[in-house]
Amino acid sequence: MVFRHRHAERLPSEDIVNALANMEQAQSSGRVRQGAITKVDLARSVAVFGIRPRVIRYGHGQVRRGYLASDFVDAFARHLEL
């Protein structure tokens, strides 16, 4: 959802965490502690799907850890088939 909303193929972990923290659904989730999801929470949540953060290179020499949209599509498609 975050990737589609931003029309992005890759996003830094921080951007995903900020988007989830602002979602009403994430705020009511038992996984959200002390009112905000962290990058560690995100990594742990998606690790069960085999998704791991990776180094993503952006323009102007900027390098951040984050995720590719394709990682989520492949993982969720596999698990939804079950």
The per-residue pLDDT for range 14-41, each reduced to its tens digit, is 999 988 888 755 456 555 455 678 999 9
* Euclidean distance between the first and the last CA atom of the chain, given in angstroms as a whole number: 22
Return the higher-pLDDT residue of 42 and 79: 42
Residue 73 pLDDT exceeds 50: yes
Average pLDDT over residues 44-70: 92
CA-derived radius of gyration, the chain: 13
Rounded CA-CA distance 50/31 in Å is: 18
